[in-house]
Amino acid sequence: MTDPVTDLVLLLLTGFAVWTGWRVFRVDSMVRASFSLMLSFIAVGAIGLLLSAPYIGIATVFMMAVEMMVMAIFMVMFMMNPAGLNPMMMVHQHGVSIAAGLAAFLGLGAAILLSAPPSDPVPPQAPVVAQLGHELLGPSMLIFETAGVTLLATMVGAVILSSRQGRHGAADEGSRPPGLTAGGAPAGRTPGEEGGPGHHHHHGGHG
């Protein structure tokens, strides 16, 4: 890391990552926030390339692009402002957020200042990608496979929970929407308000 050009690129990438990370909370739309976060991670991936971790750096770009796109899809499925073009507030729970941010900043800052980071340059000809592969499918296999299967189970569970079709019928049938005030009566129309049970199935799916 004595090369001044590398140092300059590293500084610029770090600045870009921090700036786009800050933009995530300043923009007024979910789409802009998602893709600002993606840019931030792409800068971090490029720093990975500089740190002689080509696979991790490039895979970060790949994973984050897919992940942010999935987020946009989930947005249209679950959010009230699906298009993401209407202005909306991107920050909430100010007190907790400020406390968490300060604690993380002080903790990470202390970790950097108080610990002695290792100086162990990678030789240019080292087969780093192969070494990473041997590590992932060797000593660390149990950890990564456990994490992978847990994530997969979580995803399958989330899809099952959010899916409309279920073993006991459509998910929106017989369910009660939350009240407009805390502990208040459920919002929207109540079952049996129009027609009665005989007509019920005609309205299914649009609740």
Q: By CB under 8 A, name the binding residues for another protein.
A: 31-32, 35, 38, 54-55, 58-59, 61-62, 65-66, 68-70, 72-73, 76, 83-85, 127-130
**16 vs 55 by CB, closer to another protein:** 55
Report d(CA 35, CA 32) in Å as an integer. 5
**Residue 69 to residues 7, 39, 104, 108, 138: CA-CA distances in angstroms?**
32, 13, 28, 30, 32
186: helix, strand or coil? strand
The alpha-carbon radius of gyration of the chain (Å, integer) is 24
Least Å distance, CB 25 to another protein, is 18
Whether residue 67 contacts residue 75, with contact meaning beta carbons closer than 8 Å, is answered with no
Residue 79 C-beta: closest distance to another protein, Å: 13
C-alpha angle with apex 147: 32 to 151, nearest 5 degrees?
A: 50
How many helices and strands in the chain, by DSSP H and E? 7, 0
Instruction: Closer to another protein by CB, 11 or 63: give it.
Output: 63
Closest contact distance (angstroms) between CB of 129 and another protein is: 4
What are the structure tokens assigned to 80, written together? 């009230």
Question: Minimum Å distance from CB 56 to another protein?
Answer: 9
Minimum gap (Å) between residue 154 Cβ and another protein: 17
Q: Compare residues 163 and 175 and give the one whose CB is closer to another protein.
A: 163
Give the residue with the Cβ less far from another protein, 3 or 67.
67
- The residue (of 165 and 181) whose beta carbon lies closer to another protein is 165
